[in-house]
Structure 1
C-alpha cells in the first residue's frame, strides 16, 4: 500500500515541524464541527479506501452518547478477553504437561506468534477495503474456534493448532478495536486512549489466576476454555451490531460515495490476491516458520543440530526470507508499506524498538511462571499475581505516559530517558536475583521496574509509528508495527526454547543425585513431576539449580538485545503531536 507520497499532504513532520511551537486553539475534550459539510477538512476522503471512508462517514454522525457507548463497550470486550488470556497463560504449562511435553511450552507459542502477527497485515486490508465491522467479526470467529479447539484437544499438536486460531483471533480483535480508537481520537490523546482500553489488565490480573486454579481443581482446563468459547462471542456481538447500525445511518445520510467494481469472480480473486499480497505473505510466513522452529525442536532429533532436517529447515527458511525481501522490493505489484516509508527513521525505529522489546520479553518470560512455582514454591494463584505484575504496572503507568504526551505534546523523551534504560535495569538485576535461595521480593521489585518502563515503551512506539502518516494509513502502519512485535516475540520464544532445551536437561542430569539421574528426562518433561519432589530434598535442589542456570542465560540475552532498542529510539524524530488533527468527525 503506497502512502509515502501522501505524507506532505497529511501530518508528516519536517524539520520545521519538529521545532513548531504550540498554536492557539481551544482545548476541548471532543473535536467536532458544526456540520460535516461546512469544511473541506471534514469531507469524506475521496481517495481513501472504502473501509476508511465508512469510518469517516460514521464518525460524522456519531453523537456524544454514541462515542461514550463505543468506548465503554470496547473496555468491556478488553476486560473479558484479558481475563481469559490471563487464564490461558496460567493453564498452558498444565496443558503441555498433561501430554508429557512441558518443554514445548515455549515452542507452542512460536507458530501462533508468527501467524498471529502476520495475520494483522491482511486484516489491515480487510479493515481498509471491506470495513471495521467485517474485520472485527472475522477475528471474533477465529478466537472462538481457537477456544473450542483448546477445550477439545487431545495432544499438544492439536493444542498448538488451536493456539494459532486463538492468537490470530485474539490479536485481531485487539487490533480491530485499537484501529477504532485511532479512528475516533486525536493524535495528542491517542496514547491516553490506548492506555484506557488496556486498563482492564489492572483488574483481570487478579482474576485470571484464581479462575485457572478453580478450573484445574474442578472440572478441568477444558471447561475453562469452553466457558469463554461461549462468553466471548456473546460479549462481542453488541459492538458488531452497533457498528452496522451507525454505518447504515451514514449510508442513509448519503455520506458514502457509491462504488461499483464491475469485476467478474476471477477478476475479484486476482484483485484481492494482489491487494492482500498473498504471495508475499506465504513467503514470509514459510520462511520465518522454517527458520525459527528448529531452534526449539532440534533436541528432539537424534543428531541434534547436525540433523539433516534441522539444517534444511534453517537454510530454506533463510532463502525464503531473502526471496521475500527481493520480491517485495522489486516484483510485488502492491505492498502493504513502501520501502521509502518503512525506512523512515521514525517508522523503522519504532518497528525495531517493538521487535527488540518483544524479543527481550519472551526470552526471559517464557518459563517464568514455571520458575516461580518450582524454585520459589508459590501456588498457581501467587504465580499468576507475580507474573502479571507487568500487566498491572504497564497498564497503570501507560495512563501516566498518555497524560504526559497529551500535556507536553512529545513522546521521544519518555522512551529514551526512561522506557528503554529502566527496562534494561530491571532485567539486568534479575540476572542476580532470579536464582535459588534469593528472596522473591527482589524479583517482584524488578518486575515493577520493567512494568513501568514497558508501559512507556508500548505507548511511545505506537505514537511514533502513527505520527508519520495520515488517517488513511494508520491501520497498515500499526499492522506492520504489530508484525515486528509478533516476530520479535517468536524470535524471543525461539531463543528461550533453545536455551531451555540446551541448558536445563543437561544441568539437571548433572545436579541430580546418582540414584535419580535416570529420571532426568521425566522430570524435564513435566512441571507436575518437578513439583512432586518435596522442597529441601536433593532432587528438588538439583531442579532449582538447573532452573537458575537456564534463567541466567535467558536474562543475559534479554538484557543484551535492548541495546539495539535504545539505538532505535535514539533515531526517532522528536515529533510534536499536540496540534495534529489526523482524523475527522466527532472524536476524543
Structure 2
C-alpha cells in the first residue's frame, strides 16, 4: 500500500500511459465549438492520444473547457499580479541604497543581488519539472509563498546578511511567480500572439515607473523602508491569490467534464522522496548554484578584504566554485539519471543562440545598472523620487515599445529580422553611455541613452523568448522558458559581479586620492555609506571627491556593457529564420 504521500503522487514518464484522459459520458462543454478556425473537439481527440506529463495535460484540458469570460478573467487577474509586483519593484529600488547604507555597507548594493539572481534563475528548471508533473497552480502557490516570506524577512532584517538571505527568498519567489505565469500565457496563446501577450504582462511598468518611486519617497519621508516591505508582504498575497483560484476552478471543471483523471502512482513515501530527488536533479541544482555563487562572489568581495586576492577566504571560494562547476558538468554528463540541463533542447541552434543572447543582454544591462541610483543621487543631487523616475526610464521605454514590437511580430512573423534590426540600436544606446554618464553632462542625455536601450531591449527580449518557444513542442514550453530564464539570471549575476568588481576596486582608491588631507571624514566612511555622502552639499571637497570617483567607475562599467554586446550579434546570426504565423502549438481556447 502506498504511504500518505504515495496516494497523491504522480507517475514517472513510463507511467504516463496509465493515466490517459477519459473522454466519454456527459460533457459540460460544446465540442463542436470552433476557436481560431479549429474545432475544439479535434483538440479533445488530440488530447486523448497524447503521452505527456500530468501538469501539461491538465492545462490543455483546462484550456478546452473554460469559457471566453474565464480566459479574460484569468488574464485580468494576471495583469493585477504583474501590476502589484512591478509596483513593489519600482518602490523597493528606492530603498536599496538606504538599506545597505544603513548597515554601512553601501558597496554591497550589487553583491546582495548576486546570489538571488543565480539561485532565482537556476531554480526555474526544477520548477519547470514541478509544474509539468504536478501542475501550474501548485508551482505558482509555492512561488507566492516564497516571495511573501522574503518580504517579511526584508521588513524585519537587522543586518546585511539577513537582508541578502531575504533577497534570495524574495527573488526566487518573484522570478518563479513570473515564470509560472509566463508558462500559463504560453499555454493559452498562439505563437504569433505570444510576443504581444508577453508584452501585455509588462505593461504595468508604464504606470508604476512613476508611482513606485513616489511611494518609495513617501515611505522614506514619513515612515521607514521596513514598513515599505512590510506593507507589500500583506498586499502581495491578497492580490496574487485570485489567479490560483481561477486555475483551480477551471481545473475542477475539466475533471468534471471527464477530460482529466488522476491515477495514484503506487509509490511508498520513501520511493516518492527518491523519485523527486532524481526527477528534480537535486545534486545537479546544488552543484550549479554553489559553483556560480562561490565563483562570482569573490569578484564582489575582494576589495572588502584586507589582503584582497591574497586572502585565503577569497582563494578558497574561487577554487571551490570552479570545482563545483566542473563537477556539475561531469555529473550531468556521466552520472545524473535525469540531467538538470535539457541538452537535447539546448543543442538546437536557435535555442542555444537565444539563450546566449539572453545572458549577453543581462550581463550588459547589469554592468551599468547596479549603482545607477546611487550615482543619480550623489552626482546630480536628485531626490529618491526623481532618481527613481530616471532609473526606471529603461523599464518604461522597453515595456511601452514591447507592445508595439509584439503587434509588429504578430503581423510580420519573422522574429530574426526584428532582432537583427534592434541590435545596432542597443549598441548605440550602450556606447553613448560611455560619454554621457559623466558629471559634466546633462542628465537628459542619460535618459536618452536608456530610452534607446529600452526600445532595443524590449524588442530583443520578446524575440528571444519566441525563438526558443518556436523550437519545441507544447510539452517543452515550461522547460524552454526556464532555460532562457536561467541564462538571463546567470547573465545578470555576472553583470552585477562585473559592476561590483569595478566599483570595489576603483571607487575606494579614487576617493582617497581626491579627498583633501584635512577632511573631517575618511575615504572609508564616504565609500561605505552614500547617505553620509549626501550630507555634504554639492561643491564641497568631500562631495566632489566622491563624484569624481563615481564617474571613473561608471565609465568603465559603460565600456564593459558595450563590449559584451558583440557576443549578441553572433547569437542572433545562428537562429533559424522562423515565421511564427505558421505554428499551431497549443490546444483549446487561446488568444
Q: TM-score, normalised by structure 1?
A: 0.93
SS at match of 1:578: helix
Partner of 2:357: 353
What is the CA–CA distance in structure 1 between the aligned matches of 2:75 and 2:165, rounded to whole Å? 33
In the TM superposition, residue 183 of structure 1 has moved relative to its aligned partner by 0.4
Partner of 1:585: 588
Contact 2:300–2:500, Cα closer than 8 Å, also in 1: yes
SS at match of 2:241: helix
CA distance change for structure 1 residues 540 and 518 in 2, over 3 Å: closer, same or farther? closer
What is the CA–CA distance in structure 1 between the aligned matches of 2:342 and 2:241, rounded to whole Å? 36
Partner of 2:483: 480
Partner of 1:36: 41
In the TM superposition, residue 103 of structure 1 has moved relative to its aligned partner by 0.7
Contact 1:187–1:577, Cα closer than 8 Å, also in 2: yes
Q: 1:435 aligns with which of 435, 438, 444?
A: 438
What is the CA–CA distance in structure 2 between the aligned matches of 1:500 and 1:582, rounded to whole Å? 46
Q: 1:69 aligns with which of 73, 77, 98?
A: 73
Partner of 1:298: 302
In the TM superposition, residue 46 of structure 1 has moved relative to its aligned partner by 2.9
Are positions 1:314 and 2:318 aligned together? yes
Contact 2:402–2:458, Cα closer than 8 Å, also in 1: yes
Equivalence map 1:189-204=2 (5 Å): 189-204=193-208
For residues 204-260 of structure 1, the C-alpha deviation after alignment (integer angstroms, 9 at most, x for no partner) is 111110111111111201111111111111111111111111111111111114322
Contact 1:32–1:586, Cα closer than 8 Å, also in 2: no
Are positions 1:460 and 2:463 aligned together? yes
Contact 1:336–1:476, Cα closer than 8 Å, also in 2: no
In the TM superposition, residue 44 of structure 1 has moved relative to its aligned partner by 4.7
What is the CA–CA distance in structure 2 between the aligned matches of 1:387 and 1:570, rounded to whole Å? 31
Equivalence map 1:561-576=2 (5 Å): 561-576=564-579
CA RMSD, 1 decimal: 1.7
Q: Which 5+ residue runs of structure 1 have no aligned equivalent? A: 4-28
In the TM superposition, residue 126 of structure 1 has moved relative to its aligned partner by 1.3
In the TM superposition, residue 350 of structure 1 has moved relative to its aligned partner by 0.5
Q: 2:154 aligns with which of 142, 150, 155?
A: 150
Equivalence map 1:177-216=2 (5 Å): 177-216=181-220
CA distance change for structure 1 residues 37 and 345 in 2, over 3 Å: closer, same or farther? closer
Equivalence map 1:359-438=2 (5 Å): 359-418=363-422, 420-438=423-441
Q: 1:104 aligns with which of 94, 105, 108?
A: 108
In the TM superposition, residue 118 of structure 1 has moved relative to its aligned partner by 1.1
Are positions 1:555 and 2:567 aligned together? no
CA distance change for structure 1 residues 517 and 284 in 2, over 3 Å: closer, same or farther? farther
CA distance change for structure 1 residues 338 and 80 in 2, over 3 Å: closer, same or farther? closer
Are positions 1:515 and 2:543 aligned together? no
For residues 275-331 of structure 1, the C-alpha deviation after alignment (integer angstroms, 9 at most, x for no partner) is 101110011011111101111111222210111111121112111111111211222
What is the CA–CA distance in structure 2 between the aligned matches of 1:414 and 1:217, rounded to whole Å? 44
In the TM superposition, residue 385 of structure 1 has moved relative to its aligned partner by 0.6
Equivalence map 1:141-290=2 (5 Å): 141-290=145-294
Contact 2:143–2:176, Cα closer than 8 Å, also in 1: yes
Contact 1:329–1:339, Cα closer than 8 Å, also in 2: no
Q: 2:125 aligns with which of 102, 121, 136?
A: 121
What is the CA–CA distance in structure 2 between the aligned matches of 1:239 and 1:339, rounded to whole Å? 33
What is the CA–CA distance in structure 1 between the aligned matches of 2:561 and 2:185, rounded to whole Å? 32
Partner of 2:540: 537
Partner of 2:62: 58
What is the CA–CA distance in structure 2 between the aligned matches of 1:546 and 1:176, rounded to whole Å? 42
In the TM superposition, residue 85 of structure 1 has moved relative to its aligned partner by 1.1
For residues 77-120 of structure 1, the C-alpha deviation after alignment (integer angstroms, 9 at most, x for no partner) is 10011001111111111011111111100000001111111111
CA distance change for structure 1 residues 220 and 325 in 2, over 3 Å: closer, same or farther? same
Contact 2:357–2:568, Cα closer than 8 Å, also in 1: yes
Are positions 1:91 and 2:95 aligned together? yes
Are positions 1:504 and 2:513 aligned together? no
Contact 1:112–1:167, Cα closer than 8 Å, also in 2: yes
Contact 2:63–2:588, Cα closer than 8 Å, also in 1: yes
In the TM superposition, residue 543 of structure 1 has moved relative to its aligned partner by 1.1
SS at match of 2:414: coil
What is the CA–CA distance in structure 2 between the aligned matches of 1:316 and 1:45, rounded to whole Å? 48
SS at match of 2:512: helix
What is the CA–CA distance in structure 2 between the aligned matches of 1:184 and 1:39, rounded to whole Å? 15
In the TM superposition, residue 585 of structure 1 has moved relative to its aligned partner by 0.3
Contact 1:33–1:586, Cα closer than 8 Å, also in 2: no
Contact 2:332–2:340, Cα closer than 8 Å, also in 1: no
Contact 1:421–1:566, Cα closer than 8 Å, also in 2: no
For residues 333-387 of structure 1, the C-alpha deviation after alignment (integer angstroms, 9 at most, x for no partner) is 1124432321211101011000011011111000001101111111111111101
